[in-house]
Structure 1
Amino acid sequence: MEASDARVVYVHGNGNKVREDLLKSQWDTALFGADMGAATRMAYWAPLRYPAPLSDAGEDPIDGGPGGPVGFEAPDAPAAEPPDAFIARTLAEARLDATLGGAEGLVPSAPGATGDPAEAEAALGEWLRDMTYLGDTLAEGESANTVPGSDAGLEALPLPRAARTAVFRLLVEHTFKDVHGYFFGGAGPAMREVFTRALDAVAVPDGGALVVLSHSLGTIIAYEALRERPRDVDLLVTVGSPLAITEIRDILLQPPAVPAGVAAWCNASDPRDLVALDHTLRPEYAPVELVTDHLVTNDSGNHHGIREYLSTRPVRDPVRAVFDGLASGQTQ
């Protein structure tokens, strides 16, 4: 890829990670096919929560590698797990009546929810089936539409509220420990400061462009930091984001809205990604014409892996377009 005056700030998601320079290089390679050097920077907040990084050869369990929490990784599963197998495994490993007790006090019961674990599990099973078969249809050809404010052409049906609340509690219990720390454990300001420092350290040349690309909890960190301290961002990209989840929107520092200064927002999720749960930001984050939601295929073990997200066209193409556009302009 030709050099340009574009700069990218990455924000990683839940869980411990490999060392900062290696993590940045992994994201670069998945997105661009090569290490991008000083053109990209990682907002690396993992040391705030973990005393030492994963080993260089370590697999990130939150990204679907071995050793992940029950219900969110498949150590012996093939890359393309059959839909029925994914549904059966998820339901078997995430029995709502047995696993949700530890997070009971974190999220208020949803209005209208019966509290019946069997009902919630049945609703989750039906929703998973819809989402899994939708995920298979996406594998035949993802939307290449990256026009800000346009629809991806496919929309995931929302998870029924009783089941969504139950699954959210499960997520907090098993994979959202850092989300709990962010919102309720006092870690939020320090995490946002890591991102803000990364932005401050990026020198975007005159006529250049700034891209912010975030994953999972990183999407919350980037979003709230940009709401607190607006910056001119040419493209905000969120993948595997929980920002559309009602229970997350209810505890944001400010009401949902596109951060001031953000010119375009591209959001992408796999319909089977339980961390995303709700997949469309446009209805809640105004002005809606700046937001594009995409459903993509992520065939990592838990359908949440960052490298798989970065290799999808609706994520890769708009970022590369920023770089290619600037590089093209410089050579004219």
Structure 2
Amino acid sequence: MGARVIYVHGSGNKVRPELLKARWDSALFGRDLGEVSRMAYWAPVRYESPLPDERPDPLDGGPEGVADETPAPVWDEPPEEFLARTLGEAWFESGGTAPEGPWTGEPGDPLGGWLRDMTYLADTVTRAEESGGLPAPPLPAEVRRAVFRVLVKHTFKDAHAYFFGGARAAIRDVVAAELEDAGDAPLLVVGHSLGSVVAYETLAEAEGETELFVTLGSPLGIAEVQGHLARPPSVPAGVRAWLNASDLRDLVALDHTLRPEYAPADRVTDVLVANDSGNHHGVTEYLSHPQVNGACRQLLDRLA
């Protein structure tokens, strides 16, 4: 039986699954893989209907659609106000009540430290780009700030819903169904952003072997995320090799090395890559990077 490729998309709403899978195929392999690849499409657990085909994904880092996600007056709100508002929205959507009072610098939430660090790093990167210390897309600073905050908001709120809002089982079921459907086929599993967490937790309880597990812009190195995993961090028993790729400017990843926490370390390879999407987290740029697609193409050729 030939290999099977399973994709697990990241945070935020997405276009319809067939189109999303085709885009990942093109970015990673340069062609349509047909039935060889599947998209574990969990967006409907969180979002009522897909994005229109023609609408760019706001979490890919482009300025298009950002105004619809974040009204202009919010672009320049102080980070403490953004933190408090995002926390409140996440708790409301998860069916709970947010900690009361203004933001004091204390997380006040199981994932609050991660939210704080993502937000402050976003402002730091924006200032560095404004000053010329880092190269930046030709966008006004307020638009750059909005691009980053859209990423932070959706990432945090979807992660909050996954861990504390009752969405975990339904999202994991989507991935588990694709793994089960693959049967005994050799597996390549690719997870982006929160999708890497979902893929990791599902693989940790799955039977059978995965030839290569690829995580892109993953928050699995974050202490707050590790503290809420269903099992202590380790390489899933069936995973033969794990490639973890991130950009140092990626707000979601923050901690870019998984080898120290996920034993056995000899199965994990951490690589730093350049992701020049508008928010340094866009999946297309990760998938098309030679260190990522080279490993995936080599594996598929070997298993053909």
Q: State the SS of the aligned residue for 2:255.
A: coil
Output aligned runs, 1:118-137, within 5 Å. 121=120, 125=124
1:183 pairs with 2:160: no
CA distance, structure 2, for counterparts of residue 262 and residue 253 of structure 1:
17
Question: Residue 96 of structure 1 corresponds to which residue in structure 2?
Answer: 79
1:25 pairs with 2:22: yes
Question: Residue 231 of structure 1 corresponds to which residue in structure 2?
Answer: 208
TM-score by length of 2: 0.77
Question: What letter matches 2:223 in structure 1?
Answer: T
2:151–2:279 CA contact under 8 A, matched in 1: no
Q: Residue deviations 1:103-136, cap 9 Å, x none?
A: 25323776xxxx9x9xx95997389859x99987
Q: State the SS of the aligned residue for 1:244.
A: coil
Task: Name the % identity.
Answer: 52
Q: Residue deviations 1:235-264, cap 9 Å, x none?
A: 000001011011111111111100111000
Q: Residue deviations 1:45-81, cap 9 Å, x none?
A: 11111111111111111121323489x99xxxxxxxx
Call closer, same or farther: CA 1:18–1:121 in 2, change over 3 Å: closer
1:14–1:178 CA contact under 8 A, matched in 2: yes
Q: State the SS of the aligned residue for 2:199.
A: helix
Question: Residue 182 of structure 2 corresponds to which residue in structure 1?
Answer: 202
Question: Residue 51 of structure 2 corresponds to which residue in structure 1?
Answer: 54
- How many residue pairs were aligned? 263
Q: State the SS of the aligned residue for 2:176.
A: helix
Instruction: Structure 1: give runs of 5+ residues left out of the alignment.
Output: 74-91, 137-168, 328-332
1:7–1:211 CA contact under 8 A, matched in 2: yes
Instruction: Structure 2: give runs of 5+ residues left out of the alignment.
Output: 88-106, 136-148
TM-score by length of 1: 0.71
CA distance, structure 1, for counterparts of residue 170 and residue 289 of structure 2:
31
Give the RMSD, CA atoms, in angstroms. 3.3
Q: Residue deviations 1:12-69, cap 9 Å, x none?
A: 0001111111110000000111110011000001111111111111111112132348
2:11–2:154 CA contact under 8 A, matched in 1: no
CA distance, structure 2, for counterparts of residue 263 and residue 57 of structure 1:
38
- Which one of 32, 36, 40 corresponds to residue 33 of structure 2? 36
2:58–2:150 CA contact under 8 A, matched in 1: no
Q: Give the C-alpha shift of residue 229 in structure 1.
A: 2.5
Q: Which has the higher contact order (CA 8 A, sep 6+)?
A: 1
Question: Residue 95 of structure 2 corresponds to which residue in structure 1?
Answer: none
1:281 pairs with 2:258: yes
Q: Give the C-alpha shift of residue 171 in structure 1.
A: 6.7
CA distance, structure 1, for counterparts of residue 112 and residue 12 of structure 2:
26
Deviates more, 1:96-105 or 1:28-37: 96-105
Call closer, same or farther: CA 1:36–1:135 in 2, change over 3 Å: farther
1:9–1:213 CA contact under 8 A, matched in 2: yes
Output aligned runs, 1:125-274, within 5 Å. 125=124, 173-205=153-185, 209-274=186-251
1:310 pairs with 2:284: no
Question: Residue 4 of structure 2 corresponds to which residue in structure 1?
Answer: 7
Question: What letter matches 1:107 in structure 2?
Answer: P
